[in-house]
Amino acid sequence: MAELLSRSPEETALLGRRLAAHLEARDVVALTGVIGAGKSLIARAIAAGLGVEVTMASPSFVIVASYEGPPDGPGVNHIDLYRLRDYGEALAAGVEDAVYSDAVSLVEWADHVPDVLPAERLEIGLEPTAKPEERLIVLRPVGEDLGARLGDFITGMVRERFE
């Protein structure tokens, strides 16, 4: 687990774009945090880093929005579990199919239906601080493969502090 202090939306977006360079097909990023924390902002930045423009700020009434990737890269699923209450609803909405597909899945409100997410995932928690432009960002890879793959990147981000 690593904690980073983002001092602006631009820094959070930079983290997202840099992270994208280390993601692969089938990876799942589980985003948590209150409304306005920056889940959609970082999801858009990760997608942009993967060469995909996520058009909706949040899928809102669409639970799973799937985007095709560039010719040489994976697609992106932008998923919002906010309105789902349980595993059955998530299953019916196609969430499980999406997170086990070949795309990279970016899941907002991941804590609403944790059962539908694979064991191996990158958890990113965003927490507002007393300053309006600051967010405490907690990165936690779950599962050995992802932890090994992202370990150096995460350590580097903590050391460099966005510089």
Ligand X SMILES: Nc1ncnc2c1ncn2[C@@H]1O[C@H](COP(=O)(O)OP(=O)(O)O)[C@@H](O)[C@H]1O
Residues that bind ligand X (CB under 6 A): 6, 8-9, 12, 33, 35-41, 57-58, 108, 133-135
Burial of 103 (0-12, 13-18, 19+ CB in 10 A): buried
The binder of Mg ion chosen from 58, 104, 112, 117 (CB under 5 A): 58
Looking at the Cβ atoms of 58 and 105, the one nearer to Mg ion is 58
Rounded to a whole number of angstroms, the minimum distance from the CB of residue 29 to ligand X is: 13
Find all residues with CB under 8 Å of 42, minimum gap 6, and list them: 12, 13, 15, 16, 31, 124, 126
Looking at the Cβ atoms of 25 and 56, the one nearer to ligand X is 56
The pair of three-digit structure tokens given for residue 119, joined into one six-digit string: 């064991």
13-52: which residues touch Mg ion (CB under 5 A)? Answer: 39-40
Name the binder of 15 from ligand X, Mg ion, none, CB < 5-8 A by kind. Answer: none
List contacts with Mg ion (CB under 5 A): 39-40, 58, 108
